[in-house]
Structure 1
Amino acid sequence: MAVISKLDRLSELAREKSSDRRRALLREVTDLFFDAPPAKNSVLQRQFDEILSSIASQTVEEARVELAERFADADIAPRGLVLQLARDAIAVAAPILERSNALSEEDLVRIVHETGQAHMRAITARPEVSERVSHAIVERGDDRTVAQLVRNEGAKLSRETYETVTRRAETSKTLQAPLVERKDTPPDLLNDLMLVVENTLRDKIMSRFDKMEPGVVEAALAASHQRLQARLREDKEISEAKDFIAKRKVRKELDGSLLARLLREKKRVHFCVGFAEMAGVDYTAAKRALEHPSVDGLALICKAAGIDKALFVTIAVLRDGAAADALADARALGELYESLSLDDAGRALRFWRMRKDVAA
């Protein structure tokens, strides 16, 4: 009861206008929190959260930095306050983003998508970074941010994320050394870099190959060769498809019937180029929407781009070939399309179009 009484009194004092008094008050409430930590998810913890968040928002940055340092290593911390500090100026946010266990994986992914490079770099310094968070950072981070992530051995990278970083490293010296020097970079991806890295890094790759079993090296070389050959074939097909779609667009023949025909004829690259052009997204987004097990991405793009329900259903059915129960699938797909909010679809499409613009 004594803690509650004192907290109520401090809450009254929170109306103070003086900056110095608010800073002193922030210390008092923080001291009280650590002197008698409230139970997790208790009413008292929520009261602390509300008061600390309110006072912190009205104090100078230096005071918020001090507050962030105190709560960064706390086993129990007010969730609202921690999220507020994590989105603050980087001087305030850094201790929280680098060390706080109060941030969930979902919190970190959201922060990656809502903040800038400095905040992402702070997250890459965490002792552990999950595959999902790493993937989000690689999607949005610049080369300096991604390089810092790759250097962190506590960061977990999925195979897909490794492949994305390797593709970027082919034209980015900033990424090459961290990727070559990382202990668990897949050997076949290291081989992809052999022709583009400088001699010292090439020597490091060769040195790693020398320590591997011959069978492992042979498998890595074969996988790398197959992937690079596939990319060359796809790049050539994409180039041809772009010429084809450009001509159809000039003739005003780029429409739903053309897209459906391309899918029926198994010309998936041509379809993706045409679909991307119609929807205003990049080729990668179109390809993922077509190939992903879930049809949600395809539905979002179609809804937001004004592609009608009938064409969406046709594409969704044809992407895996017309099944025996295609009619039942069509009904469910139509219901999915109708259930989508135009606002949600629009937000998703704005992101994909922004990514296309950045790539351009």
Structure 2
Amino acid sequence: MAVVSKLNNLVELAREKSSERRRTLLREVTDLFFEETPDSGSATSRKFDELLSSLAEQTAQDAREELSQRFADAPQAPRGLVLQLAQDAIEVAAPMLARSRVLTDEDLLSIAETAEQGHLKAMSRREEVCERLSDTIVRRGDDETVAQLIRNDGARLSRETFETVTERAESSPVLQGPLVERGDTPNDLLADLMLTVGNSLRERIMERFDAVDPAVLEHAMAASKARLAQRMAEDRDIAAAQKFVQTMALRKQLTGNLLARLLREREYSKFYAAFAEMTGVDYVAARRAIKQESIDPLALICKSAGFDKALFVTLAVLRHAAGEDAFRDARELGQLYDAISADDAARAMRFWRMRKNMAA
């Protein structure tokens, strides 16, 4: 009972008004806790919790930071104190959110619903992150926070969360690398990213695909096709655009000139459908090749389809509103196109076309 007697004496001393004395008391109570750690849920543990929480609330932030570091790895840390520190300023909260096992999944989920980015990022570094917490971090986190989560192999992600992050990665280079390098990113989502990422990440994806069993890869591509088809079904213009393309094909008017005209006139749905038909990719791949910033996917698709350099340059220029200086980069675009080998283009296209073939 010596620890109880010491604790009672410290409770009396805690009535001191001096902030420096309170800081000293906080250290003394903390030292006493670690010297003779009480059982969780015991009366002594509750008394420690009450006193530590009260002292922490009335001491300066740097003292709370020290307290958080000391208790973050303590499996029997007072629960009330842990919850208090976990919702403090990020400098105080980070060790608790990243390491404390006293915090339950429910605690973390509750905090995450209102937490700022620094708190979410600290949670994303935990040794284990459950699916529900990952879902919340992705829903509320900015790209830097989500990238931190994706890089954490201990974070479990649901299929839905993977899809959400992949869609965000279409316009966020910050997310692309972590997704490509993560070992459990689904193959069909990696296939989607091939039309978005730069050359080095695209090569990394193709290297991963080379090691995948062909039957497994075909199944993944079929899943990708079904998922993306569902997204496309929301676009009412697609069906009409595909009928237009069929008509043009019957009239033998499905040509490079038609592509250029459709893109110049901003008939995007018809252009995507026509471009997809002429190159052998699916509608989503055609749309991404035009809409994203990188020129590489458009160049690879055109090269693989055997488009001449002039047509590629025209499409590359027209994908952004053509002004009086629109063709100033035509020579550079042409050089880029010449530098792509047919073999490199065919290797990349093998996976994109596989997804389209799954529909057939």
Higher relative contact order (CA 8 A, sep 6+): 2
Task: Map 1:11-30 onto structure 2 (within 5 A).
Answer: 11-30=11-30
Q: Which structure is larger by alpha-carbon Rg, 1 or 2?
A: 2
Inter-partner Cα distance in structure 2 for 1:237 and 1:11: 73
Inter-partner Cα distance in structure 1 for 2:169 and 2:117: 18
- What do residues 261-320 of structure 1 show as CA deviations (whole Å, max 9, x unaligned)? xxxxxxxxxxxxxxxxxxxxxxxxxxxxxxxxxxxxxxxxxxxxxxxxxxxxxxxxxxxx
- What do residues 170-210 of structure 1 show as CA deviations (whole Å, max 9, x unaligned)? 12111111111100000011111111111111111111000
Report the counterpart of residue 82 of structure 1 in structure 2: 82
Inter-partner Cα distance in structure 2 for 1:105 and 1:92: 20
Number of residue pairs the alignment of both structures matches: 239
Inter-partner Cα distance in structure 2 for 1:13 and 1:186: 59
Inter-partner Cα distance in structure 2 for 1:235 and 1:210: 34
Amino acid at match of 1:104: T
Inter-partner Cα distance in structure 1 for 2:127 and 2:41: 26
Report the counterpart of residue 228 of structure 2 in structure 1: 228
| CA drift at 1:86 | 0.3
- What do residues 107-126 of structure 1 show as CA deviations (whole Å, max 9, x unaligned)? 11111112100001001111
> Are residues 1:141 and 2:107 paired?
no
> Are residues 1:177 and 2:177 paired?
yes
| CA drift at 1:220 | 1.4
Identity %: 63
Inter-partner Cα distance in structure 2 for 1:144 and 1:231: 26
Going from structure 1 to structure 2, the CA distance change for 1:235 and 1:17 (only over 3 Å counts) comes to farther
Note the residue ranges of structure 1 that are not aligned, 5 or more in a row.
Answer: 241-360
Structure 1, 227-236 or 209-218: larger mean CA deviation: 227-236
- What do residues 131-151 of structure 1 show as CA deviations (whole Å, max 9, x unaligned)? 111111111111110010000
> Are residues 1:99 and 2:99 paired?
yes
Inter-partner Cα distance in structure 2 for 1:164 and 1:171: 12
Amino acid at match of 2:170: E
Amino acid at match of 2:230: A
| CA drift at 1:237 | 7.8
Runs of 4+ more than 6 Å apart: none
Inter-partner Cα distance in structure 2 for 1:12 and 1:235: 71
Inter-partner Cα distance in structure 2 for 1:187 and 1:17: 62
Amino acid at match of 1:18: S
Report the counterpart of residue 110 of structure 1 in structure 2: 110
Amino acid at match of 2:195: L
Q: Could you state the TM-score of these two structures normalised by the residue count of structure 2?
A: 0.65
Task: Map 1:23-62 onto structure 2 (within 5 A).
Answer: 23-62=23-62
Amino acid at match of 2:78: P
- What do residues 91-114 of structure 1 show as CA deviations (whole Å, max 9, x unaligned)? 111111111110000011111112
Task: Map 1:288-303 onto structure 2 (within 5 A).
Answer: none
| CA drift at 1:166 | 1.0
Report the counterpart of residue 70 of structure 2 in structure 1: 70
Structure 1, 180-189 or 196-205: larger mean CA deviation: 196-205
| CA drift at 1:11 | 0.8
Going from structure 1 to structure 2, the CA distance change for 1:219 and 1:58 (only over 3 Å counts) comes to same
Inter-partner Cα distance in structure 2 for 1:231 and 1:133: 26
Q: Could you state the TM-score of these two structures normalised by the residue count of structure 1?
A: 0.65
Report the counterpart of residue 245 of structure 1 in structure 2: none
| CA drift at 1:236 | 3.1
Report the counterpart of residue 153 of structure 1 in structure 2: 153
Inter-partner Cα distance in structure 2 for 1:224 and 1:170: 15
Inter-partner Cα distance in structure 2 for 1:194 and 1:54: 55
- What SS does structure 2 have at the residue aligned with 1:53? helix
| CA drift at 1:226 | 2.1
Going from structure 1 to structure 2, the CA distance change for 1:236 and 1:173 (only over 3 Å counts) comes to farther
- What do residues 58-116 of structure 1 show as CA deviations (whole Å, max 9, x unaligned)? 11111111111110111201000000000111111111111111000001111111210
- What SS does structure 2 have at the residue aligned with 1:234? coil
Amino acid at match of 2:125: A
| CA drift at 1:235 | 3.3
